[in-house]
Amino acid sequence: MRPAENIEKLVKNINIDTNAKTDNAVLGDVIEAFEKSKGKKTSATEQNIWRIIMKSPITKLAAAAVIIVAVILGLTITDGPDIASVAWSEVIEKVEQIPALTFDMTTEISYPGNKTLSIQSENYVAGDYGTKSSLYMNGELFVVKYRLPNKNLAYIIRPKDKTYMRIDLSDEQAAKGQDPDDPRTWLKIILSGDYTKLGRDNINGAAVEGIECNRPEMTGDENGIMRLWVGVETNLPVRIEVEKLGMEAGQMRPHKFVMENFQWNVELNESVLEPNIPNDYKLREEQKSTQVEQKSPKVLTDEEKDELLRVKEVVRKLFQACNDEDWDEFSTLWPGLKPNKMQKTILGGLEIIHIGEPFKTDDSTTWYVPYQIKLKLGEVKKRNLRVRYDETTERFIACGGL
């Protein structure tokens, strides 16, 4: 007999293949319908407005009055001093035309005790061709990342270790990776709704105007702040800042991202996106084990052996809850941790690759359960989940290690 769970899996996971030629033909029809509808809407809207004005004598007079007021205002304004300002509505249009750009980014993560982890990166973004990011810590290059959606590949190179990882991306993963790497995505998010004007300032000698907004649906943090500074003369972004709480090693910590030093019109050069990995670099296959895994497990008592299955079941249920995006169940298994939107995005739909045998160490009463999961964005996590017995509820609960 096939258990019900297997049937469910069979239904969920059955794959379907499609004929690529027909795929393209259908997509062609869809795009054609889309382009046609765009054209129709513009002319239809214009026609409607014109009809409303021309049909009613009141609106005719009102329209005339508006025109007169606008002319008078225009004359008054042109008489005054000539102060340029940012045309916010044109910013996106302008940057969308740009095939390739470079920028620097600083990522700061704050830890208790006023400790801050600071990572600087130099980035090259060339739309569908891909991105390259060189990451520095304390002035030392430690990682170079390439995301090449056209080739469905990503590389993570660690010059210090002389190692690299080659990651095959599915079409879905390749598409997912493009947006967050491109500062234009953040720009669009900031300009997609209400914002507060911050007025004028000066960045590196250039006059800029700023806006500030809160987009919790995007940052996953109700109190997250996003700021955009645009050059008054160029009408191009000069700095983008994002401050929010984000997940770091299983804890929510303040993150600050600053994107600046934009070069908005660099040459599109595919050779920049060529990884050129030296011959003596070794291919990394597995992540290093965490500190906990290096501890030697202690010999279990008979009572503890009886608990093994229950501990393992908590971990399986917890990851299954993430897979099902059942966050109520998640919070039951991990009391006190109510995932926010960002955590839900990261953990939702994850795949369980492996759950190992729970073990304990000599210096702790906590259970450690080795696990390997694949997040939706493609990252594979291999760590130990911590599980403890909760005296109040008289059951095992998850308490760390995610």
Which residues are at the interface with another protein (CB under 8 A)?
Answer: 1-2, 4, 7-8, 10-12, 14-19, 21-23, 25-27, 29-31, 33-38, 41, 171-172, 175-176, 179, 185, 188-189, 192, 217-218, 345, 348
Residue 139 beta carbon to another protein: minimum distance, rounded to whole angstroms: 33
Count other C-beta atoms under 10 Å from residue 370's C-beta. Answer: 20
Please provide the DSSP assignment of 68-122 as one string. Answer: HHHHHHHHHHHHS-------HHHHHHHHHT-S-EEEEEEEEEEETTTEEEEEEEE
Residue 225 beta carbon to another protein: minimum distance, rounded to whole angstroms: 17
For another protein, the closer of residues 13 and 392 by Cβ is 13
Residue 35 beta carbon to another protein: minimum distance, rounded to whole angstroms: 7
What SS3 class is residue 227?
strand
Residue 87 beta carbon to another protein: minimum distance, rounded to whole angstroms: 17
Cα distances from 357 to residues 69, 228, 368, in angstroms, run 78, 49, 9
Count other C-beta atoms under 10 Å from residue 56's C-beta. Answer: 12
Asked if 340 contacts 376 with a C-beta cutoff of 8 angstroms, the reply is no
H-helix or E-strand spanning residue 49: helix 20-55
Residue 5 beta carbon to another protein: minimum distance, rounded to whole angstroms: 9
For another protein, the closer of residues 220 and 370 by Cβ is 220
Half-sphere exposure of 369 (CA within 13 A, CB side): 27
Residue 25 beta carbon to another protein: minimum distance, rounded to whole angstroms: 8
Asked if 321 contacts 337 with a C-beta cutoff of 8 angstroms, the reply is no
For another protein, the closer of residues 93 and 233 by Cβ is 93
Residue 16 beta carbon to another protein: minimum distance, rounded to whole angstroms: 4
Residue 274 beta carbon to another protein: minimum distance, rounded to whole angstroms: 24
For another protein, the closer of residues 96 and 357 by Cβ is 96
Nearest to 218 by CA among 258, 196, 248, 187: 187
Asked if 237 contacts 185 with a C-beta cutoff of 8 angstroms, the reply is no
For another protein, the closer of residues 35 and 274 by Cβ is 35
H-helix or E-strand spanning residue 290: none
For another protein, the closer of residues 143 and 187 by Cβ is 187
What CA–CA distance (Å, rounded) separates 292 from 370?
Answer: 10
For another protein, the closer of residues 217 and 306 by Cβ is 217
Residue 170 beta carbon to another protein: minimum distance, rounded to whole angstroms: 10
Asked if 353 contacts 374 with a C-beta cutoff of 8 angstroms, the reply is yes
387 CB burial (10 A radius; 0-12, 13-18, 19+): buried
For another protein, the closer of residues 176 and 381 by Cβ is 176
Please provide the DSSP assignment of 241-274 as one string. Answer: EEEEEEEETTEEEEEEEEEEEEETT----GGGG-
For another protein, the closer of residues 39 and 199 by Cβ is 39
